[in-house]
Amino acid sequence: MYRWVSFFVAILALLTGGVLLSQGTRDDVHPPITPAQPEHRQTSDKETTSQNTRSQLILPTPVKKPVSVLLMGVDRRKNDKGRTDAIMLIILNPRNERLTLLNIPRDAKAQLHLGGGRQRWDKINHAYALGNGVKSTVQTVESFLNIPVHHYLKMDMAGFRRIVDQMGGVDVQVPKTFSYKGQHFHKGSMHLNGIQALAYIRDRTGGSDYDRHIRQQQVLRELWKQSTQASTMLKLRDIIPTVFHHVETDLSPWDIWRMVSTLRTLSPNQMQVLHMKGVDEWSNHYYLVIPQNEQKRIQNILRQELESN
């Protein structure tokens, strides 16, 4: 799961390579962090020119308060707005120098907030398709976890596929032979293109969600490694427009830069990974029911992270 955040950091780093397009900041979350303005004093023309030249290299101050970000991987389908194929909440807490990660099961049964006073019990990942997209998903997650979601970042699966291709593919160790959506995978080393990588991380037919998460971690770990290589920097002219086209966020460029700066200082032992346990429910559809005591346990941990001094 840590590798999901590694990929998140990589995407944020790519976004900072240019001016992030405005994607509609939500009014009901905390306002974007405003960078502190430097103190002014009278300077000579020579000093002013030098300062202007250096201003592009000034690094942002680290994040100072705990911040929560909802990450969504959206699968867009023909003739509909799509649905969230992956939902993850991260809380970056600079006060205790910790990153908390919660992977929210897509089949978790929750009360969906669909807008206009509409509510219904369903799988949590259906909030996006049945309601108002990002807004309904954020409101549903806020209610489900009983905490505020400060920001969001959404990426569609087509973008994931194209980024893998633009980065030259990805190498993985396939744990067992299987096929999915016309793609065939044999046990051992394989080099995957974008279409293959997407099928590889999405298959649930031959195993459990746990097996799927392991494959996701493999792919994202390799993408993270590649994103830090010099050869990837030479491909930014092609990759950045793809990121801009397929990623939507209410984080400002400055917010993103500050988060990247802070996240890169953390090591794996400074990350708290939470797992939400549930019980299978089979009715007309399959649901993962999270017991109330388990839901409260997760809520308390997340609230402590956001409220810690």
User: What is the spatial distance between Cα 207 and Cα 225, in angstroms, rounded to a whole number?
Assistant: 27
Over residues 78-93, the pLDDT tens digits come to 677 777 888 889 898 8
Q: Which residue has the higher pLDDT, 217 or 50?
A: 217
Least confident of 73-87, 220-234, 238-252: 220-234
pLDDT at 209: 63
Looking at residue 146, the DSSP 8-state letter turns out to be T
User: What is the spatial distance between Cα 309 and Cα 180, in angstroms, rounded to a whole number?
Assistant: 48
Q: Where are the alpha helices (DSSP H) in the chain?
A: 2-15, 45-55, 127-130, 134-145, 157-166, 194-202, 209-227, 230-233, 236-246, 253-263, 292-307
pLDDT at 234: 66
- Sign of the alpha-carbon dihedral angle for 90, 201, 244, 21: negative
Identity of the highest mean pLDDT range in 41-45, 53-57, 73-77, 214-218: 73-77
pLDDT bracket for residue 275 (50, 70, 90) = confident
Least confident of 49-63, 98-112, 220-234, 293-307: 49-63
Domains identified in the chain and CATH numbers: 2-15+61-163+229-307 (3.40.630.190)
C-beta of residue 199 within 8 angstroms of C-beta of residue 178: no
pTM above 0.85, yes or no: no
Q: Which residue has the higher pLDDT, 95 or 22?
A: 95
Average pLDDT, the chain: 76
Over residues 13-56, the pLDDT tens digits come to 444 443 322 233 333 333 333 333 333 444 444 444 444 443 44
CB neighbours of 93 closer than 8 A, spacing ≥ 6? 66, 99, 100, 305, 306, 308
